[in-house]
Structure 1
């Protein structure tokens, strides 16, 4: 890093220098898969499969997932080098499995299937090399985050190493039944009586986070259009200078041709700069989509809390019924009207009803305790996950936005250099 003089340090002095964060240092946590192996996603490959008996084709893209142990001593043991091909749908299956198996964990989002928050010069063709490269980077980041979780699961490891029958091994876990149950619950409109203020604040936070990032991405897309057009229009100077050089003497003509070449370079430089800028936009977009992961956690908690409150309301009803049986008060319903007209229950009938009611109360009490424990355990784990998420978000957003600023400074420096060379050429003409 650059030397610090007089207590001041310009973080932009060293372009491309890694931004160090104390939070990235090890904190004594359990070793994760990401600690043990390097994971890369590369070589997106378009494939076509003809469907049997039909004149139809299934076109998709496969990605090569490669893993290699960080410690060379592990290569011949439990972590050999491996490579498998995976479709996007298999990444989706992995995430769905984890969402059901570890409901309180805030899962990283997958790169989007359809592009949003784009600037007009960016391709939307899902088979275009530029789109595939962005998706490849997004899938790699997804695996890095998944394998950095404090979770040891054979399904994750087999995703990285087992190409054949992996999908069948996931389905064999029976996760789909749980997934269907969760889906019905999450799609229902639930109103809990006692809202947990932590999850209520989290809902507001996720909405505000998405709104803020969406506004930044929208503004950036508009600005990217204008900056791109501004750079490209400089190619007009090149054409004009080339024409102009034909009527000047040798010295000036050569200077104009050099200036034309400089304007061409300046005009073309925006392409690589925008590609780099797009990477930072994709990283910001990841945190926009993280908002949906937070909302899923909130919905799951609401569902668990609603289950507990529903059983609790049944218990309250059973206790009221017990009091009515003990007091002999008739309920205002068909049975109560019959009791008023034809007389109350015999002592034997009353005792049988009371015994049945007490048994119901006992079962409901146990069920309430169980439901509350599940809800409380989920809430405790989810709150811990939210704290970890916010710490990591602070680190990542700091790095993303700082790198974006560094890129803007780089663009300005390159523009200054280009015009300085232009000036030098004209002065020497």
Structure 2
């Protein structure tokens, strides 16, 4: 009886000794799965950054188009004013002997062609400024467009670089994900098989020892 119990005790001790290495092996597999999960989270963060950069690029492009439209309109307006001034001078020289009639035509033409322009400039600038002031404001808009153009180019380059990185990471992810998961699951299944075999063999021996006790 004593020998049987002693042998059974040894087998129980072997189970206790096996628990710690088995837990360490399970932790190793868990760490591999955790590393894979962290990599997937990092890839999601890269995609999120791409969405933010793309949104910023769209906002800057919209601002650039709006300012470019205003500058184009103002440029056409200034050209129209120059043509109008030249016409005004020619009209005055041609009709100097009919001053009263020329004044009436000038006032009528000013109301017909200059009213909407002045009203638009009043909305844009707040008042009808001199040519120098308008030129300064136009130059300020041009400088802003140039700055936005530079920012847009930088943002475009950043998005392009990010897209390249995302494509590379996505390709690597697609290539290795099946292999990595298969390797981790294979390690875990192999560990469980070894543990179960060890436990089955140990409990079989314990059963034999207990059955040998009279």
TM-score by length of 1: 0.35
Give the aligned partner of residue 204 of structure 2: 420
1:255–1:425 contact (8 Å) kept in structure 2: yes
Give the drift of 1:415: 1.1
Give the drift of 1:367: 3.9
Query: Higher helix share goes to which structure?
Result: 2
Give the aligned partner of residue 287 of structure 1: 36
The CA distance in 1 between the partners of 2:71 and 2:155, in whole Å, is 23
Verify: 1:364 aligned to 2:148, yes or no: yes
The CA distance in 2 between the partners of 1:264 and 1:363, in whole Å, is 76
2:167 to 365, 383, 405: 383
Per-residue deviation, residues 27-72 of structure 1 (Å, max 9, x unmatched) = xxxxxxxxxxxxxxxxxxxxxxxxxxxxxxxxxxxxxxxxxxxxxx
Unaligned runs of 5+ in 1: 1-251
Verify: 1:408 aligned to 2:192, yes or no: yes
TM-score by length of 2: 0.65
Query: Higher strand share goes to which structure?
Result: 1
The CA distance in 2 between the partners of 1:268 and 1:390, in whole Å, is 41
Higher relative contact order (CA 8 A, sep 6+): 2
Give the aligned partner of residue 50 of structure 2: 301
2:43–2:169 contact (8 Å) kept in structure 1: no
Give the aligned partner of residue 88 of structure 2: none
Change (3 A) 1:362 1:263: closer
The CA distance in 1 between the partners of 2:140 and 2:18, in whole Å, is 82
Give the drift of 1:413: 0.5
The CA distance in 1 between the partners of 2:19 and 2:40, in whole Å, is 32
Give the aligned partner of residue 121 of structure 2: 330
The CA distance in 2 between the partners of 1:359 and 1:254, in whole Å, is 97
Give the aligned partner of residue 269 of structure 1: 18
Looking at CA atoms only, which structure, 1 or 2, has the larger radius of gyration?
2
Give the drift of 1:324: 4.5
Q: What are the residue-to-residue correspondences of 1:239-254 with 2, within 5 Å?
A: 252-254=1-3
The CA distance in 2 between the partners of 1:268 and 1:287, in whole Å, is 30
Give the aligned partner of residue 58 of structure 1: none
The CA distance in 1 between the partners of 2:21 and 2:147, in whole Å, is 67
Give the drift of 1:293: 1.9
The CA distance in 1 between the partners of 2:150 and 2:53, in whole Å, is 16
Give the drift of 1:303: 4.3
Q: SS at 2:121's partner residue?
A: coil
2:4–2:210 contact (8 Å) kept in structure 1: yes
How many residues matched? 171
Unaligned runs of 5+ in 2: 78-116
Give the drift of 1:366: 4.6
The CA distance in 1 between the partners of 2:59 and 2:42, in whole Å, is 26
Give the drift of 1:389: 2.5
Give the drift of 1:396: 1.6
Give the drift of 1:354: 4.3
The CA distance in 2 between the partners of 1:269 and 1:353, in whole Å, is 82
Per-residue deviation, residues 288-329 of structure 1 (Å, max 9, x unmatched) = 222442243234324433442343233123123214524432
Give the drift of 1:374: 2.5
